[in-house]
Amino acid sequence: MNKAWAVAKVNFKKTTWVAYLVAAICAVAMIADMILDACLNNQSDSSVSPYSMFYLVCVLAPILIASVNYSKLMNLGVKKKTYFWGAAINYVVFAAAVAAIGTLEYYIVDLPYAQKETGNKLLSIIGVFGWDSSFVSAFFSQFAFLLLIESVLHTLTFMQTKWYGWAADILIVAVISVFTPIAVLRQVEAFFFEMIIFSAPVLQVFICLSLAVLFYATNLFYLKKRI
């Protein structure tokens, strides 16, 4: 576990700073835009909550860790299973940190802001996805969903150096292309998203965590194939 944590610490610093920088710039830009609109009395009906930009960390970091950091760590003599567990620590921490930031901002900033007579409403992922039944629900629903996103992105990125990575890309595009236009299949597609986003909190968390573990566990197979 100590070796896995050492790998995680490397991943927190190496190349993932790009994810932090992009998320921070986007969040600051949104805040600046909201302040400018307030100063110019140019209020719109709704604005996206700035914290939503921190979701970018959970999107970009897995891609960087799987594509760039893997090669660097292998060159340093890190064992593949150590990399596997180290990256898992990264994704749990990223998901927990972003979920905590989002939950705190939603209840401390977004809701009080929306209750003021400003005519402007902050749109947050928590509110839009209906994860706002309680503070605990908001945190764990975000955490599980983000962990699933990270696991899927890490796995798909990690597969790209092999033929089955490209096959997976083609399959995903084919499924979306076929399922979306056909009404019956579109209902199946909608049902899947209903389960991982809009279902009851306990069920949604369970499904997302289960899928996240299953997706990430497949990396043990891909690790054997990677150099």
Percentage of residues of the chain with pLDDT beyond 70: 79
Exposure on the CB side of residue 137, measured as CA atoms within 13 A = 17
Between strands 46-48 and 121-123, the pairing is parallel
145-156 mean pLDDT: 93
Q: What is the pTM of this model?
A: 0.86
3-state secondary structure of 48: strand
Question: CA-to-CA distance for 12 and 87, rounded, in angstroms?
Answer: 9
Average pLDDT, the chain: 82
Structure confidence at residue 99 as a pLDDT band (50, 70, 90): very high
Q: Are 119 and 181 in contact (CB under 8 A)?
A: no
**Does residue 219 carry a pLDDT above 80?**
yes
Question: CA-to-CA distance for 23 and 53, rounded, in angstroms?
Answer: 5
pLDDT of residue 152: 92
**Does residue 168 carry a pLDDT above 90?**
no
Question: CA-to-CA distance for 157 and 15, rounded, in angstroms?
Answer: 15
Which residues have a Cβ under 8 Å from the Cβ of 176 and sit 6 or more positions away?
Answer: 189
Which residues have a Cβ under 8 Å from the Cβ of 85 and sit 6 or more positions away?
Answer: 1, 4, 7
Q: Which of 30-39, 48-57, 98-107, 149-158 has the lowest mean pLDDT?
A: 30-39
Q: Which helix (H) or strand (E) holds 216?
A: helix 201-217
Question: CA-to-CA distance for 8 and 30, rounded, in angstroms?
Answer: 30
Q: What is the pLDDT of residues 72-94, one digit of tens each?
A: 888 888 898 999 999 999 999 99
